[in-house]
Amino acid sequence: MSAPDRRPILLAGGRVLDPSQQLDLAVGDVLLVDGKIQHAGERIARPDDAEIVDCAGLVVSPGFVDVHCHLREPGREDVETIATAARAAVAGGFTAVCAMPNTDPVTDNQAAVGFIISQAKRAAAARVYPIGAITLGQKGEALAEFGEMVGAGAVAVSDDGKPVVSAQMMRTALEYARTFGIPVADHCEDPTLAHGGAMNEGAMSMKLGLKGIPAEAEEIMAIRDILLARRTGGHVHLCHMSTKGSVELIRWGKERNINVTAEVCPHHLSLTEDAVDGYDTNAKMNPPLRTPEDVEALQQAVRDGTIDVVATDHAPHHYDEKEREFADAPNGIVGLETALAVLVTWLVEPGILTYAQLVDKMACAPARIFNLPGGTLRRGSVADVTVFDPTRAWTVDPRGFHSKGRNSPYAGRTLRGRTVCTVVDGRVVYREAAEATRA
């Protein structure tokens, strides 16, 4: 991603917030030179040749890193491409995203990993890190070639979209992944309990006459994975946690120093199963939206560190795929362009999280636990930076998304918090003012 014509960039006069080094300056400067952070701290003299970005009233933080999103390419380029997703990412303040392998064909070999990386380079927006499949074709039968995929640029393995049903396969994956120092990210779902389910099992599913997915479908797999991580010493990363019980199990594991990390999605931190009432397919996702008690437990788990990161599980679908009977509609919502605002609106403004915690969950921790560049403003680090306005109110209009996906349960809602400028590798790849002009 080097470019000889890059001018230095001075992000001037913003609140400089970098939890990776306990840095929180009410007013400071960040200077980016040759794709690296050269300075992040007190105000400095303006370099002669630098491009100045006025950040007064804005937060300047490490670029957000999404460890879980679905880019749909290859296979469903009508729904999303790596290029459109990468542009959506930077519009949402994400400088890097990790692409889940459930594409068609599945990303289960080094050539597929290389294809994603080459497409991402052409897109020249967010960094895209492929996640390889755990098993060939995500069939749960034979391990994919972790070593080859890591060599080609994969940063983790996962069969996300599907659980690893076999405990023995999961054990082997955790053991084998240790060789390469990568996390094994698991979609925790017991398929026998979840079979046919379309939403959370409870009073709402009973009222709507929809088959429910019980919380235990997730929790049984979560504790299995934690126990296998204890047995193997491998790093298990639990994807999109959605229940209070899962939080308690993760806490149990961490108290015993088991190598487990976990993520939660903005929608599970903000919405309950009530959003499904009326059969709104934009509220259909897997794991499903749960109860207020679950949402509160997840919020507290983000706050106290039991859950390490917030990830979007960005899952675009074509509008007509969602325009059908609820049980037949696909799971998933888009999330890259609303994640920041959802967290500000539902967690920071009510006082559950500080901005420092928000930045840690969206930038520092995901880079750290997936061993990725970025997630920090330390001198010499990659110049991946997000500038956001923490107070800006805006109404979500999916028609304006950079993603091809329009399936958002937040459509029409007024949220607070908006990305203003995103810098990747020392280059401004998104600037809100320019977007406004373009529009």
Partner 1 sequence: MTGATRLGKDLLALEPLSPEQIRLILDTAEPFREISERAIKKVPTLRGQTVVNLFFEASTRTRISFEFAEKRMSADTVSIAASGSSVAKGETLVDTARNLEAMRIDMVVVRHGSSGAAQFLAERIESNVINAGDGTHEHPTQGLLDLLTLRHRFGSLEGRRVCIVGDVLHSRVARSNIWGLKKLGAQVGVCGPRSLLPNAIDELGVEVFDRVEAAIEWAEALNVLRLQLERMQAGYIPSLREYNRVFGVTRERLERAPGDMLILHPGPMNRGVEIDSDVADGPHSVILDQVTNGVAVRMAVLYLLAGGRPELAEAAKSAGKGRGGDA
Q: How many CA atoms lie within 13 A of 180 on its CB side?
A: 22
Q: Is 71 assigned to a binding site?
A: yes
- Residue 206 found at the interface with partner 1 (CB under 8 A): yes
What's the closest the beta carbon of residue 299 comes to partner 1, in angstroms?
A: 23
Among 7, 36, 43, 211, binds partner 1 (CB under 8 A): 211
Contact window for partner 1 (CB under 8 A) among 19-27, 320-328, 340-348, 410-418: 320-328
User: Is the previous residue joined to 288 through a cis bond, with omega within 30 degrees of 0?
Assistant: no
Q: Is 66 assigned to a binding site?
A: no
- Residue 394 found at the interface with partner 1 (CB under 8 A): no
The Cα–Cα gap between 18 and 385 comes to 10
DSSP 289: P
DSSP 6-56: PPPEEEEEEEEEEGGGTEEEEEEEEEEETTEEEEEES--PPPTTPEEEE-T
Among 212, 234, 366, 426, binds partner 1 (CB under 8 A): 212
Phi, psi at 104, each rounded to 5°:
-130, 100
Does residue 11 contact residue 60 with C-beta atoms inside 8 Å?
yes
- Residue 214 found at the interface with partner 1 (CB under 8 A): yes
Among 189, 201, 308, 425, binds partner 1 (CB under 8 A): 201
- Residue 78 found at the interface with partner 1 (CB under 8 A): no
> Which residues make Cβ contacts (< 8 Å) with residue 399, sequence separation at least 6?
406
Q: What is the dihedral of CA 258, 340, 19, 54, to 10 degrees?
A: 160
What's the closest the beta carbon of residue 126 comes to partner 1, in angstroms?
A: 34
- Residue 218 found at the interface with partner 1 (CB under 8 A): no
Contact window for partner 1 (CB under 8 A) among 15-23, 156-164, 201-209, 393-401: 201-209
Among 47, 50, 143, 279, binds partner 1 (CB under 8 A): 279
Residue with Cβ nearer partner 1 (15 or 322)? 322
- Residue 4 found at the interface with partner 1 (CB under 8 A): no
Per annotation, catalytic residue among 186, 313, 384, 389? 313
What's the closest the beta carbon of residue 64 comes to partner 1, in angstroms?
A: 36
- Residue 121 found at the interface with partner 1 (CB under 8 A): no
Q: Is 313 assigned a catalytic role? A: yes
What's the closest the beta carbon of residue 346 comes to partner 1, in angstroms?
A: 26
User: How many residues make contact with partner 1 (CB under 8 A)?
Assistant: 21
> Which residues make Cβ contacts (< 8 Å) with residue 109, sequence separation at least 6?
132, 144, 145, 148, 149
Kindly state the tokens that stand for 246.
Answer: 């899962």
Q: What is the dihedral of CA 272, 239, 21, 15, to 10 degrees?
A: -40
Residue with Cβ nearer partner 1 (216 or 349)? 216
> Which residues make Cβ contacts (< 8 Å) with residue 7, sequence separation at least 6?
49, 50, 51
What's the closest the beta carbon of residue 214 comes to partner 1, in angstroms?
A: 7
Does residue 308 contact residue 263 with C-beta atoms inside 8 Å?
yes
What's the closest the beta carbon of residue 245 comes to partner 1, in angstroms?
A: 15
Q: Is 230 assigned to a binding site?
A: no
Going by C-alpha positions, the residue among 37, 32, 43, 89 that lies closest to residue 64 is 89
Burial class (CB in 10 A: 0-12, 13-18, 19+), 238: buried
The Cα–Cα gap between 117 and 73 comes to 11
The Cα–Cα gap between 114 and 128 comes to 11
Contact window for partner 1 (CB under 8 A) among 63-71, 109-117, 296-304, 317-325: 317-325
Binding residues for Zn(2+), by number, are: 68, 70, 160, 187, 240, 313
Residue stretches of the annotated binding site: 68, 70-72, 102, 160, 187, 240, 286, 313, 317
Query: Which residues of the chain form contacts with partner 1 (CB under 8 A)?
Result: 201-203, 205-212, 214, 278-279, 320, 323-328
**Residues labelled catalytic:** 313
Q: Which residues are annotated as a binding site for substrate?
A: 70-72, 102, 286, 317
